[in-house]
Amino acid sequence: MMGSVGHFDVIIVGAGPAGTSCALALKDSKLNILLVDKEEFPRDKICGDAIAGRSIKNLYKYAPELIDEIRSFEMKELISTTRIFINNKKPFNIYWKNESYCIKRYVFDALLLKHAIKSNRTLTVKTNFKVDDVIKEVSKILVGNKKSNNYYSANILVAADGSQSFLAKRLINLKIDHSNFSAAIRAYYSNVDGIMPNQTEIHIYKKHMPGYFWIFPVGNNTANVGFGMLSKDISKRRINLKQSLTQIISQNRQLNRRFHRAKIEGNIEGFGLALGSRKIELYGTNFLLVGDAASLIDPKSGDGISNAIESGIISATTIVNAHKINNFSEEILKNYKIDLDKKIGKELLTSTIILRLGTYLPFVFAIIPILMRRKWLLNFAKRFL
């Protein structure tokens, strides 16, 4: 028998960037919100730790004091340039216009949660609560933990539970599709030589297309070093990601020299990336999917934090409007998908084209973004997706 059920206007499952951004964007809504996460914070999240300018810009609108805290935080790197090396050739640079950082997710996510709590008086947070049950009723939706027999109901459930989302599996019957899913690993290294201040590095090798090796400095002479590829190719080519990471470092003369004094801090760890090259249902009666749970990671770069934050913020508008008219049906919640498509639809499409072409030609990573600014080419390419 189910224990007593507390009711909220909104339940957000997952306190990563998507879930906390949704809570931040709802700060003036006066809606009663429950945010739950299976972990205690601060908690680690396997990631490259690169927070793109769009994330910082969007968060600044809702929590400027959060960005001030990041600015004054010592262990981070302000990023202005990314150097891209293709097959060890002379790199070309991408210059970032907006304020971007590399900062450990252990820190960043805890700061986000802290500011979401600080700015939203109608927010209740429960950590150490793993959702392993979801029940749809006529006018509400329930989530719970079977073992503790704790259940909560809401008018709207926001699934923000990441790339291997339990809720996406249960609500929209989502299965992992290896053509639209990547796997990546990362480790922290200290004392890597040749790291330039304010610069991240991406190394692309023909052998590992589409995918890349990265070195992202996170401050204090430490770098987040990682490697990721499309899951389909990992299994087809029987690639062992951990071995590949160490092989890339040891077999590449330049990298080998640079890692000569380097020391690995902790373990090499991996996780999946649900890419936005796949279109999935993002809503239904009484629920919305945001962030990785909604498969929104940029397929060409693996940047998922920006779209997680964007989707969390955009979902808040639909949530508020649905409460104004007390209608939580899929017809109303569909507006979230419409708004999100307007904002990031074109960019995801361009990135999907680059991902598909990238399998064959490394240099498309460099030239396609320029070509894709031409509308006729974009429309032509759409036919092949």
Ligand X SMILES: Cc1cc2nc3c(=O)[nH]c(=O)nc-3n(C[C@H](O)[C@H](O)[C@H](O)COP(=O)(O)OP(=O)(O)OC[C@H]3O[C@@H](n4cnc5c(N)ncnc54)[C@H](O)[C@@H]3O)c2cc1C
CB of 383 to ligand X, least distance (A): 29
- What DSSP string describes 148-193? TTEEEEEEEEEE---TT-HHHHHHH-----GGGEEEEEEEEEE--T
Distance CA 202, CA 226 (A): 10
Among 135, 271, 278, 334, binds ligand X (CB under 6 A): 271
What are 136's two structure tokens?
Answer: 């749809």
Q: Which residues of 124-137 are buried (b: 16+ CB within 10 A; e: fewer)?
A: ebeeebbbebbeee
Minimal distance, residue 377 CB to ligand X, in Å: 27
Per CB under 6 A, which region of 23-31, 33-41, 60-68, 90-98 contacts ligand X?
A: 33-41
Residue closer to ligand X (CB basis): 50 or 381: 50
Q: At 47, which amino acid appears? A: C
Binding-site member from 111, 297, 319, 340 for ligand X (CB under 6 A)? 297
- Rounded distance between C-alpha atoms, residue 299 and residue 351, angstroms: 6
Residue with tokens 């190719």: 233
> Does position 276 bind ligand X by CB under 6 A?
no
Q: Which is nearer to ligand X, 13 or 59 (CB)?
A: 13
Which of 11, 48, 203, 282 binds ligand X (CB under 6 A)? It is 48
- Spatial separation of the C-alpha atoms in residues 66 and 108, rounded to whole Å: 10
CB 223 within 8 A of CB 79: no
Asked if 190 and 222 count as a contact pair (C-beta separation under 8 A), the reply is yes
Q: Which is nearer to ligand X, 156 or 160 (CB)?
A: 160
DSSP secondary structure of 86-152: ETTPPPEEEEEEEEEEE--HHHHHHHHHHHHHHH-TTEEEE-S----EEEE-SS-EEEEETTTTEEE
Interface residue with ligand X, options 50, 123, 204, 322 (CB under 6 A)? 50
> Among the candidate windows 9-17, 114-122, 149-157, 318-326, which touches ligand X by CB under 6 A?
9-17
Site for ligand X in 308-327 (CB under 6 A): 308
Cβ nearer to ligand X, comparing 16 with 299: 16
Task: Tell me: does residue 49 bind ligand X (CB under 6 A).
Answer: yes
By beta-carbon proximity to ligand X, the closer residue of 19 and 362 is 19
Q: Please work out the total of residues on this chain that contact ligand X, with binding judged by CB under 6 A.
A: 40
Q: Which of 13, 195, 268, 313 touches ligand X (CB under 6 A)?
A: 13
Contact flag: residue 242 with ligand X (CB under 6 A): no
Shortest distance (Å) from residue 16 CB to ligand X: 2
Asked whether 355 and 299 are in contact (CB, 8 A), the reply is: yes
**Region from 17-25, 89-97, 229-237, 324-332 binding ligand X, contact rule CB under 6 A:** 17-25
Structure tokens at 9: 């206007």
Q: What per-residue string of b and e applies to 167-193 under the rule 16 or more CB within 10 Å gives b?
A: bbbbbbebeeeeebbbbbbbbbbeebe
Cβ 190 to ligand X shortest distance, Å: 19
Which of 11, 18, 103, 225 contacts ligand X by CB under 6 A?
18
Reduced to 3 states (helix: H, G, I; strand: E, B; else coil), residue 374 is: coil
**Minimum distance from residue 271 beta carbon to ligand X (Å):** 4
**Nearer to ligand X by C-beta: 162 or 217?**
162
The residue nearest ligand X at its CB is 304
343 DSSP assignment: I
Judged by beta carbon, residue 143 or residue 381, the one nearer ligand X is 143
Closest to ligand X by CB, 212 or 381: 212
Other C-beta atoms closer than 10 Å to the C-beta of 240 total 11
Identify residues 162-201 at the interface with ligand X (CB under 6 A). Answer: 162, 166, 184, 186
- Residues numbered 107-166 forming contacts with ligand X, rule: CB under 6 A: 130-131, 160-162, 166
Please confirm whether the linkage preceding 210 is cis (ω < 30° from 0). Answer: yes
Contact residues for ligand X, defined by CB under 6 A? 13-19, 36-39, 45-50, 52, 130-131, 160-162, 166, 184, 186, 226, 228, 271, 273, 291-293, 297, 302-306, 308
